[in-house]
Structure 1
């Protein structure tokens, strides 16, 4: 049964460009489907989280991560009586704006873009779904509902202060009420992201040999999960033991969000999705103890994985690729895709506009394409 504070497709705020509604899909289903069919979504299969794309077939990519986030988000939304279709749409779109080479690529591109307004992957995701995807005859972007755009823009909370240029530019034309919280569905997508990457980064770090099962036994949640598996399955092999333990950690985190959020929602007095937006506080959250446990797991991953010597070596390599490509394209815009020729000509007298086109191009690259372009153009 859907809760009164769930987002209702019949009350969705509509699309920037009017379209006749589908006879067999809700507007949120339609948003989700357009995201899945977007070129930027397909490219996520060759964009990595921590490891570079060619380092192994088993490590998570942005695509597999997004699918895992959507699965967790659907589960939580269903348990809380929220709209699963909107939740899934936001979850699938949340990483569309990521650059090649994970956060390393984002940091490098942000540094290159400092004179031109910086770079933010959440704002870039909004730019992709409102402008850069160009497949439909009647509009640029995907023409998603206001509700989905809001969720993409502020699923992590209200956005105030100095806005990323991509977000400021769109919000000026289509007010997303950035000062308020997003719907409960978008908030679910945000915490599902935390659950997914904390768990799969532990798994990927173990597979990469950056740390061992013994190294993580003292982490909160993790040690107890391994002990439970050892009691139930004393003779299982190491691979199954690891998988069984980490899926239990996953389950504990999901259960904590559901229990904590159910109490927050019931105590909020909210009777509609609009009430959720204007409460002034989130309604989807971890318990205080779970949040402390997650911070400890993050600190371990930061030290032993994100800043591991082998990862840092690769970070330096891929940072150099971005630092080489950006000024090359900025000074030689004729190297950009031919179908951008008209826009390049229009931007020729405005270096900021040209820099943002270069940024869009590099941000859209996959890991393998960035490597190939760097080898082809620079050597």
Structure 2
């Protein structure tokens, strides 16, 4: 089957007509499947709109052509739908998970997350994946009968398991969760009410959205790094995979200018990684033969993945970007200043709660120290880069320019 063709519906795809439902019962839509309804709710949410002014790597005012969390999410959705179409999966659920996966990110990207995690260290910490769950289950206030978006079980499962299972079958944390203090309290508390089966793998739709996230940010961070002048196309010859692509581009287009040369490399990389996922996933699916979405969940290993060789090459891209982009002295300086802004805001709101907007003070009079700290964390996590800078300028005499 060619890359662009849609496959017949797979037996192991999530079926919207057999969804496990919603936490709060609602009458079905006359015109949309449950998963399409989920996707529409994400797109119309306040948190999704805020992503347009949240940092991916570069702060919003550094240039109009750099990615933001919003454009990143749209690119993830495009790649994810392309893969879902090939495997006969539910494209609406796949798109929902691609668009929702970063809803919990605070301002200033991973710098903001590090700062909030440190501020909340004695109150359960901060995890952007857990915050995404909080956004769609409690922080959005758009409906008269419930808080959050009341997404289907399958959408909530995919958001929570973006990085795979969180526990073993006995409920003990695994992987990073074992190493870093256990299951985030947001998730641990929620599953007491609505069991998301943290021990199992997520649906194929969720696995597709997760690997599309990797493909998108590998490619577009290269694009943004080239645009920012942090490295050039020839620097990428340090990795065999991109070296081969650059050599082929130079053979076909010997006089290509550097901007188009970089754009062609990014395009080739995306196509290669999508094809590599498709090939390896077909091999794994043929061997496993899942006949239902629950077969996928119980399989014990991911079915949508890179082969070991491609995974090694993809890890090399991440290592290159870490060295030449994320840890570039200019990026590190700006992100250090961004972290300080988050620290300053948290400390100020903690010491002077009435600097918070009135709606964020409702019910706060008699809450515990932990509840108050988490309330402040929720407020800051919802900020855009621009609003965080504006708030800092309002509350402090001096604010870094982040340039």
Mapped pair 1:354 → 2:361 = no
Specify which of 44, 50, 62 is matched with residue 55 of structure 1. 62
Task: Tell me the equivalent position of 2:208.
Answer: 188
- Report the secondary structure of 2:238's partner residue: coil
Specify which of 145, 159, 164 is matched with residue 184 of structure 2. 164
Task: Tell me the equivalent position of 1:5.
Answer: 12
Asked if the contact 2:233/2:261 (under 8 Å) is kept, the reply is no
Moved more, 210-219 or 107-116: 210-219
1:157-208 CA-to-partner distances (Å, cap 9, x unmatched) read 0012211111112111111111111001001111000000011111111111
1:313-366 CA-to-partner distances (Å, cap 9, x unmatched) read 11110111111111211122212221233222242xx01001000000000101
Distance 1:300 1:68 in 2: 21
- Report the secondary structure of 2:365's partner residue: helix
Matched pairs, number? 377
Moved more, 302-311 or 263-272: 263-272
Task: Tell me the equivalent position of 1:363.
Answer: 381
- Report the secondary structure of 2:363's partner residue: helix
TM-superposed CA distance for 1:269, in Å, is 2.4
Task: Tell me the equivalent position of 1:27.
Answer: 34
Distance 1:63 1:343 in 2: 32
Task: Tell me the equivalent position of 2:3.
Answer: none
1:94-126 CA-to-partner distances (Å, cap 9, x unmatched) read 000001000011011101100100000000000
Specify which of 214, 218, 222 is matched with residue 242 of structure 2. 222
Task: Tell me the equivalent position of 1:314.
Answer: 334
Mapped pair 1:16 → 2:36 = no
Task: Tell me the equivalent position of 2:77.
Answer: 70
| CA RMSD between the two structures | 1.0
Distance 2:360 2:333 in 1: 35
Structure 2, gaps ≥5 residues long? 1-7, 168-172, 174-181, 398-403
Normalising by structure 2, what TM-score?
0.92
1:236-274 CA-to-partner distances (Å, cap 9, x unmatched) read 322112111210011000000011011111211210001
Task: Tell me the equivalent position of 1:135.
Answer: 142
Normalising by structure 1, what TM-score?
0.98
Distance 1:55 1:258 in 2: 36
Task: Tell me the equivalent position of 1:109.
Answer: 116
Mapped pair 1:44 → 2:64 = no
Specify which of 114, 127, 132 is matched with residue 120 of structure 1. 127
TM-superposed CA distance for 1:223, in Å, is 1.6
Task: Tell me the equivalent position of 2:390.
Answer: 372
Asked if the contact 1:65/1:197 (under 8 Å) is kept, the reply is yes
Q: After TM superposition, where is structure 1 displaced by more than 6 Å over at least 4 residues in a row?
A: none
TM-superposed CA distance for 1:221, in Å, is 2.1
Asked if the contact 1:225/1:246 (under 8 Å) is kept, the reply is no
- Report the secondary structure of 1:42's partner residue: helix
Structure 1, gaps ≥5 residues long? none
Asked if the contact 1:48/1:367 (under 8 Å) is kept, the reply is yes
Asked if the contact 1:222/1:246 (under 8 Å) is kept, the reply is no
